[in-house]
Structure 1
Amino acid sequence: MTRATSLSRPLAWTAAAGCLGYYLLLALRPAWLGAKFAGWPASILLALAMFLLFFLLAAGYALAAGRADDSESR
């Protein structure tokens, strides 16, 4: 098993946990999403945080896959 495939399951669980957390917050405490932090609505900040999470997960997977390809080509 390569490093990239060994990382795919924890990355998928992390993404799923982030989505589940967002929907649980939306279902249990919807008023919290209307709060403002530094003039920004919490819903926008949470969406940006989720976008950043998915970007970091994809970048981490791509880096791990690239390293696995490099080690196999040598």
Structure 2
Amino acid sequence: MKPEPSQRLLACLTIACCLGYYLILALRPSWLAGRLAGLPASILLALSLLLLFCLIAARHGRSSDGDTP
């Protein structure tokens, strides 16, 4: 059973976000020391990635509802 192209795209997006997050942590930690709207940038980045992963999981769950009886 091959995954659909949209599932591959979501998997690639997830991998790219994780790699980007850890690259920022490793190469430019000073970028995460700043504040945006009074909140630390590191917290905002982590929360935005968590929201993205929740949206990806919801989309994936909605697209695979037809597979189960």
TM-score, structure 2 normalization: 0.86
Unaligned ranges ≥5, structure 1: none
C-alpha RMSD of matched pairs (Å): 1.9
Instruction: Give 1:12's aligned residue.
Output: 11
The structure showing larger relative contact order (alpha-carbon pairs under 8 Å, at least 6 residues apart) is 1
Unaligned ranges ≥5, structure 2: none
User: Which runs of at least 4 in structure 1 moved beyond 4 Å after TM superposition?
Assistant: none
CA distance in 2, matches of 1:10, 1:39: 34
How many residues are treated as equivalent by the alignment?
A: 68
Higher Rg of the two aligned structures: 1
CA distance in 1, matches of 2:21, 2:28: 10
